Amino acid sequence: MNASRSADAGGTHHAVSEPIPFADIVVSGLLIDPTVIAGDVATARDVTDVAVMMLPEIGPWLRPNQLLVTSTTVLRRLAGTIGDFTARLARHEIAGLVVRLDEGCGLPDDIARDAAFPVVTTPADIDADHELAYGLSGMAKTQVDAVLRADHLRRGLLEIVMAGGGHKALADGVARGLGGAVLITTPDGRQTCRAGADADFGWLASTAALDSTGRVRTDCLDGGLGLHRFGDEYVAIAAISANSIDHGRLVLFCPGRTLASEDLYLVEQAATVCALVVSRELAVSAVEEKHRANFVRDLLRGRGGDPEQVIVHAQMFGWNLDRPIVVVAVEPDVVDDDEPPAPARLPVVERQARAFVGAVAGRDPGAAVTALATETVIIMGEGSDTMTLVHELVAQVRGAGGGGRRPFGVGVSRASSSTADLPALYGQARTALEVGRKITGSWAVTHFDDLGVYRLLSLVEDTDELESFARETLKELTDDTAEAQDMRRTLEVLLATNINIAETARQLHFHYNTLRYRVAKLEKILGPFTAQPELRLDLSLALKIIAMRGINS
């Protein structure tokens, strides 16, 4: 059994040269009079790392396959339940937990029942002269020093908060206190403020930590939390959470200086102070957002009042409605497996609304962006190419996709110069959103004018009649088979080219004679549509109903 004298980025944990069976650790002499009270040492993970736990906030020092050594005194100081603690250790895939039984401080209840790994007790400290104990005393000192540094940092940041400072002032304070560059982002990585040298941000942009839009890749970095290595440099990321709600990330990076577990601990402690600012801002904005949302609801229902009064009232919120405007409706898709992460996040509509507020601000500062019950509504100015702008906004909010970011549909109305038309514009945006989603699926971005005949079909309330018409017209082409779908595709292109056999064959990459055979087969099923314009119209409508209703598509 050999132990190498290696360390992590900051020399705060002790890796062994080769994995050691847990059972061998128990009888190695490292532990004094050990007693296994939970788990099976024979089937436990092999130990590749030994660490000491001197403080309850052990998270930054946890490693997979780690033997974690602590005491009942430390366990009694845990902020949460022992079940939450052991579950956290299990998520980090530790090999086992060793607990020193301190005099007058008993073992926490249920630790043996809740643990999913071996738990071993010992009446005394581990053997300090044992080869596996090398470096543990230094690790303990490092953790204690980190607590003292964190207390000093928190005091300085709290002074900033008490003086009324916001996230930008806190970012500056963290950058000064920790000697690096700092980002504050949303939970999905969109930057909200930064502090530090431009050269440091240039380095970060050159790494895989950011996507092409400048978003921190929280979906690719183990949920965005922890200490991440890029080449020879490190990035530390901690969650900003308030009232058990995930509000963002605090990111520290220091090119040229190696970050270690204690730096991540300091970032986590600084993030708790950032959460105070979040709570304060939420309390202030909640009342304002309620007034904004009520005003927008009245506008969309035609109860906003005289257009001149509406324009003046909107200016109180910083909105410019005295110009040609369009309405954009954004609604998240329904996802069956939308399990809430821990900590919980704001409702998806609120998150999407905040994302669009940031995206719109740099392009149309006078636009109104409001989160309603199930959707985000944007009232923005008409531009020379409104749809290009909308696609840019969607791309910025969506980022690289993934990471649990909910898909959403977008509908865009026509333009109007009067706020009295807002109810009609909203109806157009909703129609474009709903029909576009049925036709295109997730991430559909649809303008009302692009719906064509789908607008008329969407007005038919008797959907059973629509589907019946489609099935009666297309007959066996509505079957749920690959052949039926293939023949529908052939029919669709034939109708689009006005029965141009040569062009249809070119588009479908068929031989001319093959396509003529297919036309004959289609006419045998559907009737002589090549010679009857009325039948071609019926077939075209039936295909659109299938696309819109999703019948065997």
Give the model confidence (pLDDT) of 224-274 as tens digits: 688 888 888 889 999 888 777 788 889 999 888 888 888 898 999 999 999
The number of beta carbons lying within 10 Å of the beta carbon of residue 514 is 12
Q: According to the model, what pLDDT value does residue 128 have? A: 79
160-164, 190-194, 339-343: least confidently modelled range: 339-343
- Percentage of the chain lying above the pLDDT 70 cut: 90
pLDDT band at 340 (very low <50, low <70, confident <90, very high): very low
Q: State yes or no: pLDDT of 403 exceeds 60.
A: no
pTM over 0.75: no
Q: State yes or no: pLDDT of 176 exceeds 70.
A: yes
Q: According to the model, what pLDDT value does residue 208 have? A: 84
Q: According to the model, what pLDDT value does residue 16 have? A: 63
Q: State yes or no: pLDDT of 4 exceeds 60.
A: no
Q: According to the model, what pLDDT value does residue 366 have? A: 94
For the record, the structure tokens of 26 come out as 């128990």
Cα gap 28→104, rounded to integer Å: 28
CA distances for 352 relative to 403, 410, 425, 553, angstroms: 14, 12, 21, 30
For the record, the structure tokens of 10 come out as 């900051």
What is the rounded average pLDDT of the residues 521-542? 90
Give the burial class of 330: count Cβ atoms within 10 A of its Cβ; 0-12 exposed, 13-18 middle, 19 or more buried. buried
DSSP 210: B
Task: List strand residue ranges (DSSP E) for 226-278, in order.
Answer: 226-230, 233-242, 245-253
Give the burial class of 346: count Cβ atoms within 10 A of its Cβ; 0-12 exposed, 13-18 middle, 19 or more buried. middle
Instruction: Using only the alpha carbons of the chain, give its radius of gyration.
Output: 31
**Contact present, 184 and 273 (Cβ < 8 Å):** no
Tokens 């990585």 locate to: 189
Q: State yes or no: pLDDT of 528 exceeds 60.
A: yes
The number of beta carbons lying within 10 Å of the beta carbon of residue 299 is 26
129-133, 330-334, 381-385, 504-508: least confidently modelled range: 129-133
Task: With residue 299 as reference, give the H or E element that holds it.
Answer: helix 261-300
Cα gap 308→324, rounded to integer Å: 14
pLDDT, one tens digit per residue, over 108-157 is: 878 877 778 999 999 988 887 887 777 788 888 888 888 888 889 889 99
pLDDT band at 5 (very low <50, low <70, confident <90, very high): very low
**Contact present, 546 and 479 (Cβ < 8 Å):** no
DSSP 401: -
Q: State yes or no: pLDDT of 296 exceeds 60.
A: yes
| Torsion sign over Cα 378, 381, 382, 387 | negative
| 195 vs 336: which has the higher pLDDT | 195
Q: According to the model, what pLDDT value does residue 421 have? A: 94
Residues in Cβ contact with 454 at an 8 Å cutoff, skipping those fewer than 6 apart: 435, 439, 544, 548
As a dihedral over the C-alpha atoms of residue 312, residue 432, residue 408, residue 250, rounded to 10 degrees, the angle is: -30
pLDDT, one tens digit per residue, over 60-84 is: 888 889 899 999 998 888 888 888 8
Q: State yes or no: pLDDT of 57 exceeds 50.
A: yes
Q: According to the model, what pLDDT value does residue 331 have? A: 93
- DSSP lists the bridge partners of residue 325 as 381, 416
Cα gap 533→553, rounded to integer Å: 25
pLDDT band at 181 (very low <50, low <70, confident <90, very high): very high
What is the rounded average pLDDT of the residues 326-338? 81
Q: What angle do CA 101, 103, 105 make, to 5 degrees?
A: 70
103-112, 191-200, 440-449, 500-509: least confidently modelled range: 103-112
For the record, the structure tokens of 459 come out as 């007005």
Task: With residue 468 as reference, give the H or E element that holds it.
Answer: helix 463-474
Cα gap 272→234, rounded to integer Å: 21
β-pairing, 245-253 vs 233-242, is antiparallel
Q: State yes or no: pLDDT of 311 exceeds 90.
A: yes
Most confident of 320-324, 430-434, 454-458: 320-324
| 525 vs 2: which has the higher pLDDT | 525
The number of beta carbons lying within 10 Å of the beta carbon of residue 539 is 24
Size of the chain, expressed as the number of residues it contains: 553
The helix/strand/coil state of 527 is: coil
Write down the mean pLDDT value for the chain.
85
- DSSP lists the bridge partners of residue 245 as 242, 344
DSSP 453: T
> Nearest Cα to 327, choosing from 418, 395, 451, 427?
427
Q: According to the model, what pLDDT value does residue 447 have? A: 94
Most confident of 244-258, 302-316, 534-548: 302-316
Q: According to the model, what pLDDT value does residue 11 have? A: 45
What is the rounded average pLDDT of the residues 159-164? 88
- DSSP lists the bridge partners of residue 130 as none
| 171 vs 134: which has the higher pLDDT | 171
